[in-house]
Amino acid sequence: MITVNDITFGYNRHHAVLKDFSLDFQGGGVYGLLGKNGTGKSTLLYLIMGLLRPSSGSVQVDGMEAAKRLPEMMKELFIVPEEYDVPHITLREYARVLKPFYPNFSDELLHRCLDGFDMSPEVHLGGLSMGQKKKVYMCLALATNTRYLLMDEPTNGLDILSKSQFRRVLLEGMTEEKTIIISTHQVHDVERLLDHVTIIDRNCVLLQQPLVEETEPINLEELFIKTTDIRNRTANL
């Protein structure tokens, strides 16, 4: 379980990105984290990873303070940021470096995910395009088999075919014990994957609910617009 309790965080002392903000992710399933630009979605992911520290309040992962980045917590956490660099080595070598930090790392899952993207474990990372690097990194992320996987705009930079492959690959690596949190603006790319949706805005949670399809698929774009419109009308009263 991830617990965000009454946190305040800003990149400078004059502006708080998140202020007195609280949120829980109960665990199990794929969560969509939605919000307008500047609402703190990416910041929240980095706070959960312990890469940023709140000026007040706390972030806990399974009861452990995220800011302490304890080994027993970090072995169950992995993040796929929106932008990143990879070392100029082969994928196989990179996987060998990661394995000691993630005791549940699965070579079998890595190969299955790579197959889903039509890629080889012998690929050299230094010669890849940004889209290819993203696919490789997502395969590694799933192969770590962590309990919690955070993804920031995972479909940015992917073409139409790769987005379809991404959905299949993500389902390939999903189990009941895993929690995946996807922060994105590309709601159509992920809406069929999500078990839960969380919408944040102006330091509060506008909506947090499971997604249950009945007669028709859920349109996340319409849900997001409706939810934020209600918030705006309420704020203007």
pLDDT of residue 232: 62
Q: What average pLDDT does the structure give for the chain?
A: 89
Q: How far is CA 16 from CA 11, 72, 145, 198, 228, in A?
A: 7, 30, 34, 20, 20
Q: How far is CA 216 from CA 106, 169, 188, 211, in A?
A: 36, 24, 15, 12
Is the CB of residue 203 less than 8 Å from the CB of residue 20? Answer: yes
> Which tokens go with 149?
């996987």
For residue 38, the domain's CATH number is: 3.40.50.300
Whether 234 has a pLDDT exceeding 60, the answer reads: no
* Domain that residue 78 falls in: 2-235
Q: How many domains does the chain have?
A: 1
pTM of the model: 0.91
CB neighbours of residue 190 within 10 Å: 23
> Which tokens go with 229?
């419109």
Stretch 108-120: mean pLDDT, rounded? 91
Distance between CA 81 and CA 142 in Å, rounded? 14
